[in-house]
Chain A
């Protein structure tokens, strides 16, 4: 019983990290329907920014959120203008290659400037465990989990209540109808890309006390994030949050009961099954997954 509870807690906390990374991606993928392979590299850059702010200036990772988030927002806007904007009318497959190109360039630029070394920040709370009865809860992971809850709820409210949020949701649901209603699609894309990148910036800062940063760290997370996004339903914040938790739990249980090396295989199989049986995901609108196409 003890095992099951600890596994559940570990799974939920790991899931919180996946949710955190996927929230930005579900926004970008849901709205633009572009498979952004560079999302992982944005995470990597955010982690490096956090690392250097800590190492050179001595700013605590949690405090550096205030700097890293706007930085990533600007990076997102720039990449949209330079890479995504010119290819919006290209065939979907070409778009994938543009983001793959961006991902390869960013990854290797990091390798060029900062070498392949694994770096981590040494804070007082990095390895801190909170004992709760017989259970152990990692402080940094708990912080990431809380942040995932707050951010997904915040973005959910933003999309639900504000005018700009409604416009973003409209574009995600039906591009053509949104255009007919007078929404400036290009501006929505521009802003969404910045917002999605800012969200992964938050994820990067919160992950820095937990993980090492190295040039290919984004690759570890990006495929998982796509699994979460499709599982939760495109552009759906609640979906991304719940989807992340499910994948975290699946990973935790299958890592323990099946085999550690097979846990990825298990969630890729789930991913395939979701795509085949319910491609709109848990919370997506049925049919919305095809509407984004021209």
Chain B
């Protein structure tokens, strides 16, 4: 299973990746500016969450816009357990993962019958239902007032005064998501997923158990997304239904891999490292004086990206590559049992 990872270091890109990683590890020792550190944290955060979405959305082609459901469920489970039973957030994260995985499997299974826009609309509906329920049960969740997490700094409580520890935690998490995605990309399971993305009926007739493969991918994706939810809650120390379960959040998770390149392990990282700074810069340049102007530009960029580079940033490189080759490089010939 680990072999593809070792093999990656037979090529220069493996060392380039390692160099970038080391740079990120040493960054907090050199830079103290909290804005820069926050920006890097958000870049890694969205890279991780985009990567988690990409497992079912990109590799499997099941285009969900309801991942905020998993995100919010993880966050709420952890925070509520901490609040009511005093459970440690790290343990709460594990419980959240388990609950979200079960929920993910339960809602994905019936939805997989739906195709195209209908699957997407159904996933939106599930996230909306959770948001409404979280708002409604006020006595339990504090409703739309939200929950401020009581401050109690320390590694054991997953709460820090400085940005640096958060940066290391999200770096480890983003790395975990990347490694999982990379292993999936190079594995038999990953080829199954990509096969059914291209043609479900053909994949089924070749003996792939479509439902089982999709379910597995959905559960991995949901579990990783719930970890992201816990991180976010512990980072801003406040949760409320409208931001946790919002459609905007789901859109952002899907947008990141779409910009970078869907169905590749590296795509979400590229997407986030381009899009997140762009958003933050647009916001800080235009956000002050002109309400809404930066989002107008953002919306226009979005439309232009879809029209002119529907394969994402990686697609730009792939196109020049496939012009050289005669055969499209879609997986196939390299599969070894």
| Interface residues of A, Cβ cutoff 8 Å to B | 29, 33-35, 83, 86-87, 90-98, 100-112, 115-116, 215, 223, 226-227, 230, 259, 261-262, 264-265, 268-269, 271-272, 275-276, 279, 289-290, 292-293
Contacts and interface: CB of A to CB of B under 8 A. Distances in A.
Interface of B, helix, strand, loop or mixed by DSSP: helix
B307 A104 contact: no
Identify the 5 closest CB pairs spanning chains A and B, nearest first: A105-B299, A101-B302, A111-B292, A104-B299, A108-B292
B106 interface: no
Interface residues of B, number: 43
Given A86-B307, A98-B306, A98-B307, A112 B291 contact: yes
A112 B128 contact: no
Contact of A104 (B111, B116, B128, B298): B298
A275 B116 contact: no
A262 B132 contact: yes
Interface of A, helix, strand, loop or mixed by DSSP: helix
Nearest to A105: B299
A84 to B, nearest CB: 10
Interface string B105-145: 00000110111111011101110110011011000000000
Interface of B: 63, 65, 110-111, 113-118, 120-122, 124-126, 128-129, 132-133, 135-136, 251, 254-255, 258, 290-296, 298-303, 305-307, 310
B295 A104 contact: yes
B126 A264 contact: no
A289 B233 CA distance: 39
Nearest to B286: A112
A104 B302 contact: yes
27 contacts: A33-B116, A86-B307, A87-B310, A91-B310, A92-B117, A93-B120, A100-B251, A100-B302, A101-B300, A101-B305, A102-B303, A104-B296, A104-B299, A105-B300, A106-B299, A108-B293, A108-B299, A110-B292, A111-B295, A112-B290, A230-B118, A259-B136, A261-B135, A262-B136, A265-B132, A272-B129, A290-B115
Given A33-B116, A112-B293, A261-B135, A101 B299 contact: yes
